[in-house]
Structure 1
């Protein structure tokens, strides 16, 4: 059994606490954000704080706006591009053929030596 001087059934922070013990809470306001999937995210902000126009939806990750009738459209994700796709954006087929011929010419010249 524990020592006789232990306070039984209590712990630090236990007990009824209200505003009288903690102090007054800061004033705040509830701001709803609406995403394109129809989710409503109610977010609390301090009164007088700058409220952003958009907020990420915690359910689906899309941007939510403050207008329920016209939520922000989902961002378009660019598909993964391979290195070859980026090269084809920079060079035409004619440029590629010219570079290939130049490289093959150097290779053939080095073999003749």
Structure 2
């Protein structure tokens, strides 16, 4: 047994598999997409496939379309909001103070009745 780096099942002089052994390739259509940063992407589609209107740029991740002069704008990214930020959108400061006063009154009443020890 020879200990080399030969690939099992291959022989010396064997070339790559050609089109004759695999059959003919399906007809392809290459479409150019352009993003807002000016990157051009050229994916290949089957000739009878439906071509998508937008494509994600593999370099920057922005959406791209086929119009080089008018690429789609970058999406607007909303900053992360905390739970408190959402609550402040729904309630005014006066409503929050009223709810807090009501909750404290109820808690003090329960403590006075002996329902809450701490």
Please state which band the TM-score falls in when normalised by the shorter chain.
Answer: 0.7 to 0.9
Q: CA RMSD in A?
A: 2.2
Partner of 1:53: 53
Are residues 106 and 16 of structure 1, via their aligned partners in 2, closer, same or farther at CA, if it must alter by over 3 Å?
Answer: closer
Please give the alpha-carbon distance, in whole angstroms, between the structure 1 residues aligned to 2:58 and 2:81: 29
Regions of 4+ moved over 3 Å: none
Please give the alpha-carbon distance, in whole angstroms, between the structure 1 residues aligned to 2:84 and 2:24: 62
**Any unmatched runs of 5+ in structure 2?**
114-118
Q: Secondary structure at the match of 2:31?
A: strand
Q: CA deviation at 1:45?
A: 0.3
In the alignment of these two chains, the number of paired residues is 108
Please give the alpha-carbon distance, in whole angstroms, between the structure 2 residues aligned to 1:98 and 1:32: 60
Higher percent of residues as strand: 1
Q: TM-score, normalised by structure 2?
A: 0.82
Partner of 2:37: 37
Q: TM-score, normalised by structure 1?
A: 0.85
